[in-house]
Amino acid sequence: MSPRLQELEQNFKSSGGKWVDFQIGALFDIETSKKRFDANKVKLSVSGYPYVVRTSLNNGIKGYLEEEFEFLNDGNTISFGQDTATMFYQKEPYFTGDKIKIMRAKFSDFNSLIAIYLIATMTKAFSSFSWGSSSFSVEIIKKQIVSIPVLNDKIAFSYMEKVIKTLEAERIETLEAERIETLEAYLTVTGLKNYQLTNEDNKTLAIFNSLVNVENKSSEKLGLVSISMESIFTNIEQGRRLKKSDQIVGELPFVMAGTTNTGIVGGIANKVEIFPENSITIDIFGNTFYRGYEFGAGDDTGVFWNESLTDKLALLYIQTVIGKSLIGKYDFGYKLRASQTHKFELLLPCVDSTPDYQFMARFIRVVEKIVVHDLVEWTDKKIEATKEVVTLK
């Protein structure tokens, strides 16, 4: 329980508030839906009134129906799935599927906030309920006991509302704090000061979009040119076999085939060849990763590096191009070895047939900014949606 909720509860108790057991039947009339619409026979629509079933998703709403108004159940009630105990507050009138009961409050103070509080309480009461044929009985449901806050011998509706409002406010604060934390983490990892695109960034995007996806050997402008792997990487090696049972636990990351944890199976202390940072690994299945650290590699992994090519962003660009070119080409029946890759060709941005690593790095930096921007935008929409839902209550 958060400090604010603790304070709220303490103030409530100090004012004489307490929790009293009530039967659900004393709080709600439990009614049968005006008409049950068979989920296998109805035609769902994107318009009309909500169609509520026993699902635990989307507030119990499976879709929308356009049916006779006389079969609508009143809004400002709780829909109750008899054999699942799924409960949702329904603000608007709605149609129902099979085994849905309508819980109508016996008190005039009922609203969405109180409904949320009571649903949480009732869900707890039903958590250990043994569902069976007899459990469908409305009488059994009515007799279930819930603990309700009471002040001066009256149900403390105001306290319930304060609890839910506090929880909602804390949820929004948590989302906003997570937004700041996540953004700062991304900016730190990427080394960005901010994620706004500059004029230079937009120019880089425009140049990339204008590149022709065919061989272009013009010496006057940037173009995509086929470059062999051996022209890019001065070192192309295969790792050496080291069985799992022979591995000694240590600090050196050891890479084998696979995508889990980018292929790192753990740290070793064995005497193996240590490959340099700013390398790219390609395993027997074509899985490709950039390595910004020293590491060892098994015989199912090829290692590619060039002592003169140390720009992480440029290598990330090249890694992406390699990975895309290998998708779906290798498996257990047809494995890739480093010795096969020397003549592999990649389409890379070049000037005068020379790879433009600076342009590649600039482009990856722009992509990083776009990714962070999209993340922030998605998070902002999530926060606004939460605020909107709270406001609508």
Axis crossing angle, helix 312-326 with helix 357-392, rounded to the nearest 10: 80
* Mean confidence (pLDDT) of the chain: 87
pLDDT digits (tens, 9 = 90+) for 140-190: 888 889 999 999 999 999 999 998 888 888 887 787 777 777 777 777 777
Domains of the chain: 18-155 (3.90.220.20), 199-361 (3.90.220.20)
Check: CB of residue 138 under 8 Å from CB of residue 25.
no
In terms of Cα–Cα distance, which of 155, 124, 138, 120 is closest to 22? 155
Contacts of 187 (CB under 8 A, 6+ apart): 193, 194, 195, 372
129 pLDDT more than 60:
yes
pTM tops 0.85: no
What is the per-residue pLDDT for 388? 61
Check: CB of residue 340 under 8 Å from CB of residue 295.
no
221 or 295, higher pLDDT: 295
391 pLDDT more than 70:
no
130 or 349, higher pLDDT: 349
CA separation for the pair 207, 223 (Å, rounded) = 9
The token pair that represents 267 in the structure block: 């740290």
In terms of Cα–Cα distance, which of 173, 179, 119, 170 is closest to 2? 170
Helices (H), 191-268: 199-210, 229-232
What is the per-residue pLDDT for 214? 44
CA separation for the pair 247, 270 (Å, rounded) = 7
